[in-house]
A and B are shown apart, each in its own frame.
Chain A
Amino acid sequence: MSRILSLFALLLSVTNLCAQDDLFDLLDESVPETQTVFATFKGTQLINAPTNETPGKGVLQYVIAHRFGSFTDDYLYNFFGLDNAQIRMQLDYGITDRLNIGIGRSSVLKVADSFVKYKAFQQRTGANAFPFSLTLNSSINYRAARYTDGIDHDRTDRISYYHTAIFARKWSPSISTLFSPGLVHWNTVPGRDDPNTTLHATLGGRIKLNKRIALTGEFSLMNNSTLSDGSTFTVPGGVGIDIETGGHVFQIHLSNTRAMSNPYWLSRNTFSALDGSLLLGFNISRVFTVR
């Protein structure tokens, strides 16, 4: 009899235990295991190159960027390059969490641009994982500066395009990288044999030093760096620091680029870091939720 009773007690306790375990197990079962990776990069641009990020739905972003004079260009006389600062202003808006459109104006060659950016795929972890984010970005750029070559130029001559596919991956909460192959198309080139389209690949990354400060770096390769008029172009690149404070992102960097509209810094850069032509610069972004 006592044996039966103990069996009975055992059975009861087992069922009780099962019931308890099952109850809290139910919580875990119900959690959707797939999670979209967020905050791969702090800004919508790294130094010059666009990142996979967009501002988000209903968010208006204003970016003001400066590139100061080169260290090789009478640095003290020009007050550390501040006297010949170049500026770009950008205003963009997130139509959806994935779609972003914007306009910009750069003082180098008085280039006005407009762009569209779309997050095609987002990196995900968990059950339905996806290893990287893919964002597509295209811009059209209009050079307003007068030509000095004495030739009558059509309005369309002033236009150039930039298209890129930005592959980005957040490896850990602090390390993210991007690889963005792209192309620049120029409506006008100096000579008949010069290619209108050049191919590019940007490599970039960031390491977070703490919650609000990150180290960034990027450089871009191109397939054709000399033109028939004798001009040669260098590999654009730089290193910087991202500082985030509430609604602002400050990006302070040292690069060998001066132009800030995509085709110009990417495909027509003449500064060489090897010659000591480094420039200080910054981008500051401010977001406003207008929705």
Chain B
Amino acid sequence: MKHFFIAIALLLVAPLSAQQYLTRQGTITFDAGSPLEDIAAKSESASAVYDSETGKLGVQVLMTSFVFKRALMQEHFNENYVESEIYPKASFRGTFSDGRAVGTLTLHGVSKEIDVPASLSVEGDVAKLHTEFPVSVADFEIGIPKTVANKIDKEAKTTVDCTLKLRR
């Protein structure tokens, strides 16, 4: 009897680790532009993990991996706005269920609970994650000087597109 339970317990371990999906080439874009200034950037090296068993979902991106059209804007973004040297990463840790991603978004050292619509479809070995949501610049204590305040959208439209593969 004892051995039977241990056997079951051991069996349970295997499927738990077999339901994990992972990518290291996820795409995250954001657009905080205005009619006065084109402010948009894209990272193609975001990581995302998803466990279809537990519904746990995690996304993480290195701030310096965001590429802007203008080199100077990229430098200002990292140096003066998100302060990448102090806060190198942005992350989401939470769960996905019923078309919503719920969890903690951490950016610029500030953590906030978010609940945003998302789609996550699992087909065979591949899980596709897509979500779009606004990120309020003020919520994450990212300072915008008054002189450029009318050039920057207070809400950065953020898009996440990741194709995750089953881990074996």
B1-16 vs A: 1/0 string, CB under 8 Å?
1100110111011001
Q: Of A12, A26, A35, A39, which contacts B20 at CB under 8 A?
A: A26
- With A11-B6, A57-B71: A32-B62 Cβ-Cβ less than 8 Å: yes
Q: What are 10 pairs between A and B in contact, CB < 8 Å?
A: A12-B9, A15-B16, A19-B20, A20-B56, A24-B56, A24-B93, A27-B47, A27-B48, A27-B58, A59-B71
A38 CA to B76 CA, complexed, in Å: 10
Is B79's CB under 8 angstroms from A23's CB? Answer: no
The tally of CB-CB contacts under 8 A between chains A and B is: 108
A16 CA to B19 CA, complexed, in Å: 12
Instruction: List residues 66-89 of chain B with CB under 8 A from any CB of chain A.
Output: 69-72, 75, 78-80, 83, 85-86, 88-89
Measured between beta carbons, the chain B residues less than 8 angstroms from A30 are: 22, 24, 47, 60
Q: Of A1, A5, A26, A55, which contacts B49 at CB under 8 A?
A: A26
Q: Of A15, A31, A287, which contacts B72 at CB under 8 A?
A: A287
CB distance from B65 to the nearest CB of A (A): 8
A139 CA to B2 CA, complexed, in Å: 82
Q: Name the residue of chain A whose CB is nearest to the CB of B47.
A: A30
A287 CA to B145 CA, complexed, in Å: 20
Instruction: List residues 13-43 of chain B with CB under 8 A from any CB of chain A.
Output: 13, 16-17, 20, 22, 24
A33-45 vs B: 1/0 string, CB under 8 Å?
0011011000000
CB distance from B37 to the nearest CB of A (A): 9
B123-151 vs A: 1/0 string, CB under 8 Å?
00000000000000000000101011000
Q: Name the residue of chain A whose CB is nearest to the CB of B10.
A: A11
Q: Name the residue of chain B whose CB is nearest to the CB of A16.
A: B16
A35 CA to B71 CA, complexed, in Å: 16
CB distance from A288 to the nearest CB of B (A): 9
A58 CA to B72 CA, complexed, in Å: 11
Measured between beta carbons, the chain B residues less than 8 angstroms from A55 are: 71-72
Interface residues on B, range: 35 or more
A11 CA to B6 CA, complexed, in Å: 8
Does A274 sit at the interface, judged by CB under 8 A?
no
Measured between beta carbons, the chain B residues less than 8 angstroms from A4 are: 1-2, 5
A1 CA to B48 CA, complexed, in Å: 42
Measured between beta carbons, the chain A residues less than 8 angstroms from B56 are: 20, 23-24
Is A26's CB under 8 angstroms from B85's CB? Answer: no
A247 CA to B73 CA, complexed, in Å: 8
Contacts A22-B17, A23-B20, A289-B70 known; 16 new A-B pairs at CB < 8 A: A1-B1, A7-B5, A11-B9, A15-B16, A16-B54, A19-B17, A19-B51, A22-B20, A23-B51, A23-B56, A24-B49, A30-B24, A38-B79, A55-B71, A56-B71, A212-B145
A248 CA to B78 CA, complexed, in Å: 17
Measured between beta carbons, the chain B residues less than 8 angstroms from A56 are: 71-72, 75
CB distance from B61 to the nearest CB of A (A): 9
Does B91 sit at the interface, judged by CB under 8 A?
yes
CB distance from A173 to the nearest CB of B (A): 5
Does A79 sit at the interface, judged by CB under 8 A?
no
CB distance from B77 to the nearest CB of A (A): 10
Does B158 sit at the interface, judged by CB under 8 A?
no
Does A94 sit at the interface, judged by CB under 8 A?
yes
Does B111 sit at the interface, judged by CB under 8 A?
no
A3-18 vs B: 1/0 string, CB under 8 Å?
0110110011001100
Measured between beta carbons, the chain B residues less than 8 angstroms from A5 are: 5
Measured between beta carbons, the chain A residues less than 8 angstroms from B91 are: 27
CB distance from B56 to the nearest CB of A (A): 5
